[in-house]
Amino acid sequence: MQILSFVWDPSPGIDLGFFIIRYYSLMFVIAFSVGWILTKKIYKNEGQPDDKLDSLFIYVVVATLVGARLGHVFFYQPELLKEDFFSVFLPFSFKNGFQFTGFRGLASHGAAIGIITAMYFYSKKVLQKPILWILDRIVIAVASGAVFVRIGNFINSEIIGKATNSDFGVVFKQLGEDFPRHPAQLYESFCYVFVFLILHYLYWKTNKSKQLGYLLGTFLVLLWTVRFFVEFVKEAQVDERSEWILNTGQWLSVPFVVIGVYLMISSSKRPLNDA
């Protein structure tokens, strides 16, 4: 049935004549903007000054982009380090002549590592609070941002799902295909809405934010569990060994879930008043 599938062939972006605003970049701008608004509300509730929020924004933006880019290169495309080194750090390719490519290769696992690392320095140099305090709070904004980033991946026809072998799915015309695939990006985006809502509820309607590490642990368990299961209908981003039951994305998700469970269980031993 044709009604169960649709052809996806978006324009590259909003053409202003002299410049094209790419939808993927726009989704990142929306993600950071929404995150800033959410975190500002939390900082106001916690009695934190605006100057610390401004510093946080810079730390998070830089850590997200650098971490996500390096994560993609190290986990999925290490050959770039030899074949096109400068494209690792710049939105250009020099391999076959100069070409603007944008940062199409970004890995959420790398972004997570980058943000955690940046928050360690932020908590020490700026906030003067335990790192778990800030991580418990920014994960709410991160979860909301993940919704828009995956929408951006869908618009870019990247991180695609496997063929459905049925009439259901999305035909990604820009890939030169005529068969439907699972819209895995939209599956993730939809699930991340609920991850955000759960974290938002726990912060504003319960006392779980008083237990250091609980919200972070909840975030790690929920988000990476979603990622783990969506990977079953997603095309592998690298060539996988045939004997592996799980793909690279799933193997990388498992440690985050384990750490999250530990943080949730042990959070009662870290009351905020004793920090």
pLDDT at residue 274 in the model: 45
**Number of domain units in the chain:** 1
For range 103-123, the mean pLDDT: 81
Question: Residue 14 domain-assigned?
Answer: no
CA geometry: angle at 237 spanning 232 and 240, to 5°?
75
The pLDDT of residue 275 is: 45
Look at residue 10 and tell me if it is in a domain: no
pTM, rounded to two decimals: 0.83
Q: Is 128 helix (H, G, I), strand (E, B) or coil?
A: coil
pLDDT bucket at 169, cuts 50 / 70 / 90 = very high
Q: Residue 60: its pLDDT value, please?
A: 87
Residue 4 in any domain: the answer is: no
Its domain, for residue 181, covers 20-268
Distance of alpha carbon 43 from alpha carbon 55, whole angstroms: 12
pLDDT tens for 5-39 read 789 988 878 777 777 778 888 898 899 899 999 99
pLDDT tier for residue 45 given thresholds of 50, 70 and 90? very high
Distance (Å, whole) CA 134 – CA 116 = 10
Q: In this structure, is residue 102 part of a structural domain?
A: yes
The candidate with the shortest Cα–Cα distance to 241, out of 251, 233, 227, 254, is 251
Residue 7 lies in a domain: no
Question: pLDDT tens, 244-264?
Answer: 678 878 888 999 999 999 999
Q: Average pLDDT of 97-111?
A: 66
Q: Provide the angle, in degrees to the nearest 10, between the axes of the packed helices 131-155 and 23-46.
A: 160
Q: Nearest-CA neighbor of 187 among 221, 145, 231, 222?
A: 231
- List, for residues 209-235, the tens digit of each pLDDT value: 999 999 999 999 999 999 999 999 998
Q: List CB contacts of 58: < 8 A, sequence separation 6 or more.
A: none
Q: Is 73 exposed, middle or buried (0-12, 13-18, 19+ CB in 10 A)?
A: buried
The percent helix, strand, coil of the chain (3-state, each to 5) is 65, 10, 25
DSSP 8-class letter at 7: E
Least confident of 63-67, 91-95, 230-234: 91-95
15 assigned to some structural domain: no
In a domain, 54, yes or no: yes
139 CB-near residues (< 8 Å, 6+ apart): 199, 215, 216, 219
Instruction: Tell me whether residue 13 is in a domain.
Output: no
Condensed to tens digits (0 to 9), the pLDDT of residues 127-152 reads 889 999 999 999 999 999 999 999 99
What is the DSSP-derived secondary structure letter of residue 241? Answer: P
